Chain A
Amino acid sequence: DAGVIQSPRHEVTEMGQEVTLRCKPISGHDYLFWYRQTMMRGLELLIYFNNNVPIDDSGMPEDRFSAKMPNASFSTLKIQPSEPRDSAVYFCASSLQVSKQFFGPGTRLTVL
């Protein structure tokens, strides 16, 4: 099993640009999570899906952030327009039912 796959691994963009982060969960997992990690706030949940349906998006900072899961094997997290304070490491994780979560390698986003 390849584990959770995220792309890109690194992204550098300028303020105001659109950023799209991608995630492929482990095959067969029915939960998918997006987390953000910063020095100031630590690891925090942004949104999670169950069977492709968003369950809790209360952690999404504002309307500039949106996430989709069009099918069981793919999810995107989009930031439009991006701002310097969005700079962070974004993790995608997946799990089978409500058991152990497996994390992807993360995407390090830098917004200049």
Chain B
Amino acid sequence: AQTVTQSQPEMSVQEAETVTLSCTYDTSESDYYLFWYKQPPSRQMILVIRQEAYKQQNATENRFSVNFQKAAKSFSLKISDSQLGDAAMYFCAYKGGSQGNLIFGKGTKLSVKP
């Protein structure tokens, strides 16, 4: 069975600085997708970024980028120029190519200090 592990329950970053959130996963599949979702206090789950496993190039969305290491089964999220609005829970998620649902990690609570 696939698993997703986020080893950092909480992280803190100074406004305008850069922070990296870690995620590792376990799978025997070769075709899959990885995601980072943001959940602010409003509870809304917001898709931040997506990576297809077959793509070697790391995905980037404005201030958000990933470091995808397929051999190491690692998928970290880098947030550059952190803003107060980035404060939230961040969930790493896995989706196998043959399945529809997401498998989530336990989440990392990110605090941004002014």
Using CB atoms, name the residue of chain A closest to B106. Answer: A42
Given A100-B50, A102-B47, A106-B44, answer yes or no on A48-B100 (Cβ-Cβ < 8 Å): yes
Contact A56 B44 (CB under 8 A): no
User: Count the A residues whose beta carbon is within 8 Å of the partner chain — how many?
Assistant: 23
Measured in the bound complex, the distance between the Cα atoms of B42 and A105 in whole Å is 8
Separation in Å of the A58 CB from the closest CB of chain B? Answer: 10
Judge whether A72 is part of the interface by a CB distance below 8 angstroms: no
One of B47, B99, B106 near A100 (C-beta < 8 A): B47
Q: Mark A25-50, 1 if CB is under 8 A from B, else 0.
A: 00000010101000000111100101
Judge whether B95 is part of the interface by a CB distance below 8 angstroms: yes
List A contacts of B100 (CB < 8 A).
31, 33, 48, 50, 55-56, 95, 98
Q: Which residues of B contact A (CB under 8 A)?
A: 35, 37, 42-47, 50, 91, 95, 97, 99-107
